[in-house]
Amino acid sequence: MSCSISTLSILLSILIIIHSIRSAANPSAPNIRNDSDSLRKGSSDYGNIVHEIPTGVLYPSTEKDIIDLIRSRSPLTVAARGRGHSVRGQAMAGGGVVVDMTALGGKGGRIQISKSSSGMYADVGGEQLWIDVLRAAVAEGVAPVSWTDYVYLSVGGTLSNAGISGQAFLHGPQIANVVELDVITGKGEFMSCSRTRNPELFYGVLGGLGQFGIITRARIILDKAPTRVKWAKLLYSNFTTFSRDQEYLISNNCSNYVEGFLITNENAANEWTSSSPSRQDDVAALLKKQGILYAIELVKYYDNQTAATIDEEFETLLKELKYMSGYNMTTDASFVDFIARVGNLDNETPPLQSHPWLNLFIPKSGIFDFNAGVLAGMLPKLNHTSGIFIFYPLNRNKWDERMSAVVPDEEVFYALSLLHSTPQDDYHYIDEFNQGILEFCRRKGIEVKQYLPNIKSKQEWIHQFGSKWPTIQKRKAMFDPNTILSPGQRIFNSA
């Protein structure tokens, strides 16, 4: 039986009000709130699918507030919440306490740009946004080298997953570009860690899905910031050519950013042919014929010293690629505008939607079967969704195997992001579609790994972590033996 949107919203509001009334008489700490607004925030995220109501939300003014909360052992579970961009309740703690990490940044001064004998770095509060790290660093002529496509995310949040974008083939994910962390463990211990100091915690927390500690500070590697970018969008009709060109681009250092996109509807196709309106009918006809087109987004950075040669270098690079003749949109932009190109979606007020995303890492050996069965076989038939579909290769040698993040055991693997949007609570058919993709991979023996995983059983988690599972168990016992932290991931809190 299904409920209407208004009915579900009313039911959730009633539950929150009842819960806040029951909890109001017993606040466990001065900074823990259990008013309806706080509980609503603590029981919601970007996915708008899972709603787990906590007993309260902690608004810490210092790290000590978090330490005291964990040491008190009064909440059964604790979850750190940055900007709430999880999609399946991963930052929730039903019946526990959600820590609103944004409160730590209230006094400012949580981004410091410094120089040492080993280079430039930024010491950044875990609650800080990557967009603010970008602005502070660029003001000093430097910048991080690895990004996410959306930069209005918290530093601690992306480092708890991996943090990937089109730069990761060259510099690795964001977790590969951190040299030091401050972490509060599940035992309430405040620990600084690095590759040589408390390394088990350092490697565990990076990509550790919040299971071993809460990141309160990260030291991020910086490099000289470019000033501008040359930016191309290239259209492909053939998957073999598309994947070959992507793999060529990530096999050398001739570009700074490479991503691929899957085009399954005419509106999306028009975005890639907007500079050639006369060609849109041709693209629409081709899309109708084969159901899917492919596109590469390619960027090369430059500055004042290389401005005189960038056009020639970029044209030389494009000549090596086999995209559809004439379907090349090239623009020039500032480096900051490119990194922040998605804008701040948090400030928009779209109709209430759910986001049943599926993110996978796919081994190179399986991509042609995957394209035939899923990209060209299933995606074009999905007519009742909106969203962005991203597909691009990464180099495994840029990932540190000691970290908790898991990727396929092949030198090249592909990142797939099916970023679906549906009307609120109308996501079930997308869940079935996503499950169908996973079933296809199982039948074909394609050993995919989920990124930003939506996994419900312990057995599935054991398969997800593979050979890392014993290490994950050991680290959990070391740093969170009472399984307090991050219950929304359902790793140690599932059947």
Alpha-carbon distance 97 to 22, whole Å? Answer: 15
Is residue 171 among the annotated active site residues? no
Say which residue the tokens 């509106």 belong to. 267
Is residue 35 among the annotated active site residues? no
For 385, half-sphere exposure in the C-beta direction (CA atoms, 13 angstrom radius) is: 26
Which structure tokens are listed for 116? 């040492």
The single-letter DSSP state of residue 88 is S
Q: Are 60 and 80 in contact (CB under 8 A)?
A: no
Selected catalytic residue, list 45, 245, 259, 480: 259
For residue 491, is it left (φ>0), alpha (ψ between -120 and 50) or beta?
A: alpha
Selected catalytic residue, list 123, 132, 149, 189: 149
Is residue 420 among the annotated active site residues? no
C-beta neighbour count of 141 within 10 angstroms: 13
What are the φ/ψ torsions at residue 445 (nearest 5 degrees)?
70, 30
* Cα-based angle 349, 386, 435 (whole degrees, multiple of 5): 120
Alpha-carbon distance 203 to 475, whole Å? Answer: 10
Selected catalytic residue, list 19, 45, 65, 85: 85
Burial of 82 (0-12, 13-18, 19+ CB in 10 A): buried
Closest CA to 266 of 289, 240, 298: 289
Alpha-carbon distance 165 to 172, whole Å? Answer: 9
Alpha-carbon distance 31 to 66, whole Å? Answer: 10
Which distant-in-sequence residues (6+ apart) come within 8 Å of 346 by Cβ?
83, 152
* Cα-based angle 180, 183, 188 (whole degrees, multiple of 5): 155
Annotated catalytic sites, by residue? 85, 149, 259
